[in-house]
Structure 1
Amino acid sequence: MSKICCLKLFICYVFLNLIFVDTDAFDIPEGFEKSNHTNNWAVLVDTSRFWFNYRHVANVLSIYRSVKRLGIPDSQIILMISDDMACNPRNPRPATIFNNAHEQINVYGDDVEVDYRGYEVSVENFVRLLTGRVPPDTPRSKRLLTDEGSNILIYLTGHGGDGFLKFQDSEEITSQELADALEQMWQKRRYNEIFFIIDTCQASSMYEKFYSPNILATASSLVGEDSLSHHVDSAIGVYIIDRYTYYVLEFLENVHPNSHKTMSEFLSVCPKHACISTVGVRQDLFKRDPRKVPITDFFGSVRPIIITTDPIDIIEIPKRNKNTENKTTNVVQKRMYLPQFPVHLIPSS
């Protein structure tokens, strides 16, 4: 047998071993687990009305505060709130919403941007938002302008049951309708990955029908279980936060933009002895291992950085010449409008 034939046999042997090698014997490089998303969005929805549902507004505003703190800008957050508890006549502290009895943090804050409020929070508007089927005159702030590079956090809170979530006690979205809306998003290339969170009774029933890829889902309770409130603020007179969201926020308060915490840690933040309900998780549609997915892939924001070795010239702006004329002239000049464009910065041709 010639040397060339022996070499060919050896190459074939090596090739076959590479194909049938036991991949479990090797650690997958960390780089393979990194997301290839290019932007982050959040859709945060409170679906209930009336003063006694104060806790649901506190839930959604607390998540809103967390994602903003971790880097997702308001322009990429869709906030839907059915009722304005801050301005409710029963609120003993107008223009405030608290998520704990110590009242340390006013989650309503000074810069809350509500995109859908009151009766705008409906099943139709929610589905249109997800699928992009909004009327042409819809302003940018009410559009989910995602693409195939978008990681989306979807958080829902309110009242629900086995296979449905109520909107304002007048209508409901079913688990099948929600699953079909997410499939439309996938077919229209409106997301890269989705992290779906729902805090309501029998919450896990809402993700059972999902069939689209790249979705990681968690719920505050399993089918047949109630999702319970955490504590009452006696000054306000109602429950002010749900148990699951309370422990989620306790976890998120210790997360920073450069955190190494993983999605696996997030999925176990509320054990049954704390939540009293069983937290559900569905990860069969999600390609990556949650133990190797940083939490900032969904709760943070991509921060593009441009690295350059080229020098950057900073042009020194010339100072305006001081006027040496009399005081009367100075008074007249103070009342004159400044030029619309800084003419002294425009290079002369």
Structure 2
Amino acid sequence: MRIVLSALFLFSCHILYCTAVPGWAVLVAGSKAWIRYRHQSNVCNMYQILRAQGFPKEKIITFMYDDIANNTLNPRPTEIINEPNGPNLYHNIDIDYKGTNVNKENLFKVLIGDTSSGGKVVKGGRTQNVFLYYTGLGDESGEFTMSHSTEGYIKNTEFIEILKQVSVKNPFYRMFIAFEASHSGMIFEEILPTKMKVIVMTAGATDEDTHGAFCEDPKFKTCLAGVFSYHFSQFLKKNDLSKSTIFDLYNYVRQASKVHHPQLYGQLEAGHMPLRAFMKYKTTAGFMGVGASESNEVDINEEESNEIDINISHSLELDDTDSINNNL
């Protein structure tokens, strides 16, 4: 009887993902240069969100070229923002891989847990979850950028192969990937095995460009955020991650994005998992250190999501898409 009850408990735990705990977060800005400001600001924003959720610095691994904050074009020297008049998101951020170290070789080593280069890597565990966030450029072939990959872009097939290796060499409980790039659906559609313990949310479908937001400020002459990333982050800031699921986040972002259509791939049953399983340790402070408590966390309904104005049209002579072809 004791054995049967134990088996039933373990089975129910699997169904409810009660063994799932946040383990590691890998945040990747796959581009460089001032015109692509938004990718590095997106990473800074996500970093601050995780820190506000109690995520320890030691468990966050960042890839960021780091040529924005001190860029001569920056009207707010030494600072990075993600929305007009926003807070300085560059403050207290630890960048683990910068400059020429932002390359696919290091990304693959980080995910596999290969310490041969001496940098911080994911140390997997079967009861730990991994959150991987990428923001950069993509194209119709399913390739995407790492700003200093010695062999060019990362192909979708080699990325999926790395994920397969990770599941064997550096196993995890579940991995949640959020991916913002043009044609990001092409990276995963029909080639990501559904049996892998990976669920992916892309910013758009296989045939869609994704766009920058807040592109109007003549002082910056660039877009401050990505449309997908901005809505994604707004949900995380304003909702209780212990109660909200990946599906809740997906439904909100899909409703709010308008200009492109986020997709889900992989092990879709993991969409029922609460976001806290990937992003929330014990909360000690709110976003950017402002005190927070459960009572301060509010739900965003669909009507409110449509009221956030992040107009992507602009009069500046710049391209706001995340397409490789338009950013050569």
Decide: shared fold, TM above 0.5.
yes
User: Aligned match of 2:244 in 257, 261, 278?
Assistant: 261
Q: Which among 156, 159, 167 is matched to residue 146 of structure 2?
A: 167
Higher normalized strand content (fraction of residues): 1
Distance 1:113 1:123 in 2: 20
Determine whether 1:300 maps to 2:283.
no
- Equivalenced residue count is 267
TM-score (norm 1): 0.71
Compute the displacement of 1:86 (Å).
0.6
Relative to structure 1, the CA distance from residue 188 to residue 53 in structure 2 (aligned partners, 3 Å threshold; closer, same or farther) is same
Aligned to 2:102: 121
Change beyond 3 A, Cα 1:39–1:99: closer
What runs of 5+ residues in structure 2 fail to find an aligned partner? Answer: 1-10, 284-328
- Distance, in Å, in 2 between the alignment partners of 1:189 and 1:117 is 24
The residue matched to 2:145 in structure 1 has which SS? strand
Q: Secondary structure at the match of 1:107?
A: coil
1:80-229 correspondence to structure 2 within 5 Å: 80-101=63-84, 103-109=85-91, 111-135=92-116, 138-139=118-119, 142-162=120-140, 163-168=142-147, 171-208=152-189, 209-211=191-193, 213-229=196-212
Gaps of 5+ in 1: 1-27, 304-349
CA distance in 2, matches of 1:143, 1:251: 28
1:282 paired to 2:282: no
CA contact (8 A) 1:213 1:286 kept: no
User: TM-score, with normalisation over the residues of structure 2?
Assistant: 0.76
- Residue 43 (structure 2) aligns with: 60
TM-superposed deviation, 1:286: 4.4
Q: Report if aligned partners of 1:194, 1:216 keep a CA contact under 8 Å in 2.
A: yes
Runs of 4+ in 1 over 6 A off after TM superposition: 28-31
Higher relative contact order (CA 8 A, sep 6+): 2
Cα RMSD, aligned residues only: 2.2
Could you say which structure has the larger radius of gyration? 1
How far off is 1:250 after superposition?
Answer: 1.3
Q: In the TM superposition, what is the alpha-carbon distance from 1:39 to its structure 2 partner?
A: 4.2
1:186–1:169 distance in 2 versus 1, CA, 3 Å: closer
Note if contact 2:109-2:121 (Cα within 8 Å) is conserved in structure 1. no
